[in-house]
Amino acid sequence: MAELPLEALQNLADLHPKPTNLHFQYGTAGFRTLGNTMDSVMFRVGVLAGLRSKKLDGKTIGVMVTASHNLEPDNGVKLVDPRGEMLEAAWEVHATTLANAPTTAAFIDALSTVVKNAKIDLSKPARVVYARDTRPSGPALVAALEDGFKAIGASARDAGVTTTPVLHYLVRAINTKGTKNEYGDDSEEGYMQKLSSAFKKLVAGKAATPPLVIDCANGVGAQAAVKLSEYLGDSLKLILHNTATTTPGALNNACGADFVKTSQKLPPSLASVLNPGQRACSLDGDADRLMYFHLDDRGLFHMLDGDKIAALVAAFIVELVKAAGLEEEIHVGVVQTAYANGASTKYLSERLPVTCVPTGVKHLHHAAERYDIGVYFEANGHGTVLFSPETTEKLNTHQPSTPAQSTALGHLVNLTQLINQTVGDALSDMLLVEVVLTHKSYSGIEWDSLYHDLPNRLVKVVVANRNVFKTEDAERRLVSPPGLQQKIDELVRRYESGRAFVRPSGTEDVVRVYAEATTRTQADDLAFRVGGLVYDELVSRAFNLACVVSMCRFVIYKGTKPVQLCHLLTRPCHSIINQAFDSRLRLDRRRPINGDGFGVGWYDSSHDEELGSQPCIFTSVTPAWNNVNLIRLAEKIKSPLVFAHVRATTAGSLSLDNCHPWSFGKIMFMHNGGIAEFTRIKRKLQSYLSDEIFNVVQGNTDSEWAFALFLSKLPNVHARTFSTHVLRKAMEDTIAHINEMTEEEGITEPSLMNFCVTDGESVIATRYISSRTEEAASLWFSSGTTFSEYAEGGHYKMSKMDKRENIIMIASEPLTFEKGKSHMPDWMEIKTNHMVVITPKMNLLQIPVIDKYHVPPSDPAALNRGTDFAAAKGFLSPGPRRDVAAISSDTDALPSLEPI
Ligand code: 16G
Ligand code: MG
């Protein structure tokens, strides 16, 4: 019996060490994470692919390097089994085990265990075929993968840069070559040839449809679509957009199938392209998802998602089967997930059997195999049609009795060739849709009117551990945490045609909430409320927020010129409203949703005796993004000093009184963070206040009481003016007093005290935590001469024309990702336990807060504060943004002054 090639494995594995502190998981879509962390994973997957092939007697295994619809910095890898289907579940476990072996020795040990347990005969040959998408991290990752093939002695065929479905096709074509089930020529050309000739046969003699606009997501689908277009010739004209595969950062950015589905809007880049009445579609980054859409006569956007595709296609196939006289012999069924729109399920189940399965292609694929013809689509646009071997055989051998039967039969046979039966395939699905539209003479409008989607909303609640959520009934009901489903049911009953479900994601630590109802407002409301139930459940389970990533975001603008509020709040794609939604409850990645409270406070541009000098404050407890009043006001109000805050409930109820900012006279205040175990010091804090200040407080949050304490620290709360020094001193006293009270109570958990205060002229903002070892909630600043939109879609940047600071912004998370002229990011991080002061004359100072939690910069501990605490509480600006801006953390950009 052959042995593992230990020397080769050892030597090559040493070149691809596993990063410590990272855990990898082979999830529903293989391994997927930041591309630059995946070198060792790739190598090990290469070895595993070889073993899988040996296990299957030398059948060719596919390896695809892609992160699909994710943004460019991510990458991923997944294995494809010999018939072109997803890797067998038991091997997903092997993949995870191997990827996490900490050392080369441990990796080789784990390999030996797999060989032994899976009874792999190592003398068998190993064959693999691999491909990658257009991501810049692809070539290096493929090199690591190739080392893996080499180490296990696999013969490997490089399929180059191509789509995921083409790779699946190749696997099946290679493994069936020369058999009676030959799937097609095993090349990309063979695939194009097969699809295009089936398409031409299917539309022969029909009036050609108008050209189709395709949004290629700036990904590999662009290259494939160019080739396909040549093969299709005049049979279908394709107009390709978003084909910039080499433009950095363009991939899936404000375009592509996932963007369309999650934001339910037109990719901005197509706004000037698409005409009313015209139909278009979006592919995702590896071209295995498809979303159609069209603009109606009034130019309104309508989305035709996976459910609509399933309805169109299934009804067409049923008709053909009937017309071919095979109604009794061939049963067509549809497979959906809980995400399928209720209206689509109703439409389909009135016509044919419908099964609901848990999310994830493999579940749908397997369920579809149980039908003679199984149509499966996820609402997100991934899907295909499977013809069972018996059905294919029947279609090829059946003798029609009439010319009409013969035509229908011919169409069905051609469909078996047109459809990629290994996996969802955007291009093949697109041709399928075009065939049906051609046969039916449907425009997008007629297709859309098959049924009317119930308005729906998808939000997510970020959690530290999604495993407490367990579901049943194809993820439609929660069994754990106990009691939560009953609360959801009670809520859902109050909405007309309401439906909602909660499921843990299979790909990230979030819980997803889906809701639908008869109106958009009701669907939003239901989603938000169910999200709130999930959130409250986590809060009550954990007592404090340790296991819930909450979010509060704020932004401060101070400028020599007034800013139109919309440039700060509603228009930038990374405004705090969007960030808020990103952080906690979000309609997948791109649309904001946060209903826990929003507030904006601003001062007048010029002084008016009658209006007074106090700020105006607008607060709301409805989702900020959905607040048309806010959107309208923001377009018409200008101010030189603005505070804005989006809140997630950490304590206190959902009420206007609890929304930041608060004001008293000229003073305005807001907070990002939380005072640890506040209820234990609340009474003590209150007893310190004068009656006047005590009665100022209307809400019940720690933040508002901290504001009251701040007011009580001012020498004269009614003064006409406050010097910067007086405000600073009051702020320091507030923090010191809170620390004193928590310490007296023996509270050991740190408090996060990022406070901001202004009197309309000076601004003081703290980045503070009562700990010497933990990092405070994040806080950033940016300054420059203009803050403006440089690219459509709300992409803003700060420009610095000269050295003057006309604008200073402070925010809990950067609002832009651009780098300034000096190649420094727009945003710089404010240091922990420092205070930033903007003087009336626009000087910007960073001053350390010197107390027992101050760690001088000379102490190495200053650089080693832990991030777990603030991160667990949800107050650390996450992931890629930190990467972009991280270089500022050790850049001393601001003058550091000693306290006055
Ligand atoms: C993966 C699945 C996709 C599913 C999605 C759900 C495959 C190839 N892909 O992308 O089908 O819709 O996960 O993600 O299976 P979620 O579990 O995070 O909601
Ligand atoms: Mg994809």
CATH code of residue 474: 3.30.310.50
- Average of pLDDT values for 841-861? 87
Instruction: Using the atom order of ligand 1, give the atom closest to the CA of residue 30.
Output: 8
Ligand nearest to the CA of 282: 2
Q: Which of the residues 68, 235, 344, 770 is marked catalytic? A: 68
Please check whether residue 212 lies inside any domain of the structure. Answer: no
Going by CA atoms, what residue is nearest to atom 5 of ligand 1? 360
Q: Do 476 and 425 fall into the same domain?
A: no
Q: Do 530 and 572 fall into the same domain?
A: no
| Distance in angstroms (rounded) separating the CA atoms of residues 523 and 515 | 6
Please check whether residue 82 lies inside any domain of the structure. Answer: yes
Q: Among residues of the chain, what percentage have pLDDT more than 90?
A: 70
What per-residue confidence (pLDDT) applies to 651? 40
Which of 126, 161, 196 lies at the terminal end of a domain, its last residue?
161
What per-residue confidence (pLDDT) applies to 816? 61
The dihedral of CA 562, 566, 572, 577: what is its sign? positive
- Reported as a single tens digit per residue, the pLDDT across 120-136 is 999 999 999 999 999 99
Q: Do 463 and 605 fall into the same domain?
A: no
Place 540 in a pLDDT band, splitting at 50, 70 and 90: low
For the Cβ of 70 lying below 6 angstroms from any atom of ligand 1, the answer is no
Kindly give the distance from the C-alpha atom of residue 89 to the centroid of ligand 2, in angstroms, as a whole number: 20
What DSSP designation does 777 have?
Answer: S
Counting ligand 1 atoms within 8 A of each CB, the residue from 26, 68, 70, 361 with the most, and so the one to mutate, is 361
For the Cβ of 359 lying below 6 angstroms from any atom of ligand 1, the answer is yes
Question: Which CATH number do you get for residue 343?
Answer: 3.40.120
Q: Do 524 and 574 fall into the same domain?
A: no
Indicate if the pLDDT at residue 484 is higher than 90. Answer: yes
Q: Do 560 and 611 fall into the same domain?
A: yes
Q: Do 484 and 530 fall into the same domain?
A: yes
What per-residue confidence (pLDDT) applies to 551? 54
Ligand nearest to the CA of 288: 2
Please check whether residue 704 lies inside any domain of the structure. Answer: yes
Going by CA atoms, what residue is nearest to atom 4 of ligand 1? 360
For the Cβ of 378 lying below 6 angstroms from any atom of ligand 1, the answer is yes
Threshold 0.85, pTM exceeds: no
Place 873 in a pLDDT band, splitting at 50, 70 and 90: low
What per-residue confidence (pLDDT) applies to 592? 33
Please check whether residue 269 lies inside any domain of the structure. Answer: no
Kindly give the distance from the C-alpha atom of residue 507 to the centroid of ligand 1, in angstroms, as a whole number: 7
Indicate if the pLDDT at residue 547 is higher than 80. Answer: no
Please check whether residue 247 lies inside any domain of the structure. Answer: no
Indicate if the pLDDT at residue 876 is higher than 80. Answer: no
Pairing of strands 807-811, 780-784: antiparallel
Q: Which residue did the predictor score with more confidence, 672 or 584?
A: 672
Going by CA atoms, what residue is nearest to atom 12 of ligand 1? 360
What per-residue confidence (pLDDT) applies to 673? 86
Side-chain half-sphere CA neighbours of 255 within 13 A:
31
Going by CA atoms, what residue is nearest to atom 8 of ligand 1? 29
Domain of 748 in residue numbering reads as: 553-899
Indicate if the pLDDT at residue 248 is higher than 50. Answer: yes
Please check whether residue 427 lies inside any domain of the structure. Answer: yes
- Average of pLDDT values for 228-238? 97
In which residue are the tokens 């504001």 written?
707
Q: Do 566 and 696 fall into the same domain?
A: yes
Ligand nearest to the CA of 286: 2
Please check whether residue 205 lies inside any domain of the structure. Answer: no
Q: Do 707 and 845 fall into the same domain?
A: yes
Question: Which CATH number do you get for residue 71?
Answer: 3.40.120.10
Instruction: Using the atom order of ligand 1, give the atom closest to the CA of residue 288.
Output: 8
Lowest mean pLDDT among 149-153, 395-399, 534-538, 607-611: 534-538
What per-residue confidence (pLDDT) applies to 788? 83
Place 588 in a pLDDT band, splitting at 50, 70 and 90: very low
Q: Do 881 and 772 fall into the same domain?
A: yes
Counting ligand 1 atoms within 8 A of each CB, the residue from 31, 77, 164, 359 with the most, and so the one to mutate, is 359
Q: Are 296 and 337 within 8 A, CB to CB? A: no
For the Cβ of 507 lying below 6 angstroms from any atom of ligand 1, the answer is yes
Instruction: Identify residue 133 by its one-letter amino acid code.
Output: D
Place 844 in a pLDDT band, splitting at 50, 70 and 90: confident
- Cα angle at 312 between 310 and 314, to 5 degrees? 60
Lowest mean pLDDT among 378-387, 813-822, 888-897: 888-897
Kindly give the distance from the C-alpha atom of residue 423 to the centroid of ligand 1, in angstroms, as a whole number: 13
What per-residue confidence (pLDDT) applies to 872? 64
68: annotated active-site residue: yes
- Average of pLDDT values for 430-434? 98
What per-residue confidence (pLDDT) applies to 390? 97
Indicate if the pLDDT at residue 660 is higher than 70. Answer: yes
Q: Among residues of the chain, what percentage have pLDDT more than 70?
A: 89
Nearest to 862 by CA among 889, 899, 893: 889
Partner residues linked to 746 by β-bridges:
none
Which of 510, 542, 574 lies at the terminal end of a domain, its last residue?
542
Residue 618 CA, chain-centre distance (Å), reads 30
Kindly give the distance from the C-alpha atom of residue 66 to the centroid of ligand 2, in angstroms, as a whole number: 8
Mean pLDDT of the chain: 88
- Average of pLDDT values for 612-621? 90
Kindly give the distance from the C-alpha atom of residue 361 to the centroid of ligand 2, in angstroms, as a whole number: 11
Side-chain half-sphere CA neighbours of 305 within 13 A:
25
- Reported as a single tens digit per residue, the pLDDT across 672-693 is 888 999 999 999 999 999 999 9
Q: Do 14 and 157 fall into the same domain?
A: yes
Indicate if the pLDDT at residue 546 is higher than 80. Answer: no
For the Cβ of 136 lying below 6 angstroms from any atom of ligand 1, the answer is no
Going by CA atoms, what residue is nearest to atom 3 of ligand 1? 360
For the Cβ of 505 lying below 6 angstroms from any atom of ligand 1, the answer is yes
Which of 161, 194, 218 lies at the terminal end of a domain, its last residue?
161
What per-residue confidence (pLDDT) applies to 55? 98
Q: Are 594 and 627 within 8 A, CB to CB? A: no
**R_g of the chain, CA atoms, integer Å:** 30
Please give the helix or strand (H or E) that residue 484 lies within, else none.
Answer: helix 484-492
Q: Which residue did the predictor score with more confidence, 868 or 702?
A: 702
What per-residue confidence (pLDDT) applies to 647? 67
- Average of pLDDT values for 275-296? 96
Place 178 in a pLDDT band, splitting at 50, 70 and 90: very high
| Distance in angstroms (rounded) separating the CA atoms of residues 107 and 95 | 11
Indicate if the pLDDT at residue 293 is higher than 50. Answer: yes
Q: In the chain, how many domains are there?
A: 4
User: What's the burial of 140, exposed, middle or buried (CB within 10 Å: 0-12/13-18/19+)?
Assistant: middle
Kindly give the distance from the C-alpha atom of residue 28 to the centroid of ligand 1, in angstroms, as a whole number: 6
User: What's the burial of 88, exposed, middle or buried (CB within 10 Å: 0-12/13-18/19+)?
Assistant: middle
What per-residue confidence (pLDDT) applies to 541? 53
Please check whether residue 384 lies inside any domain of the structure. Answer: yes
What per-residue confidence (pLDDT) applies to 823? 36
Q: Do 650 and 742 fall into the same domain?
A: yes
Indicate if the pLDDT at residue 650 is higher than 80. Answer: no
Question: Which CATH number do you get for residue 824?
Answer: 3.60.20.10
Q: Do 496 and 562 fall into the same domain?
A: no
For the Cβ of 594 lying below 6 angstroms from any atom of ligand 1, the answer is no
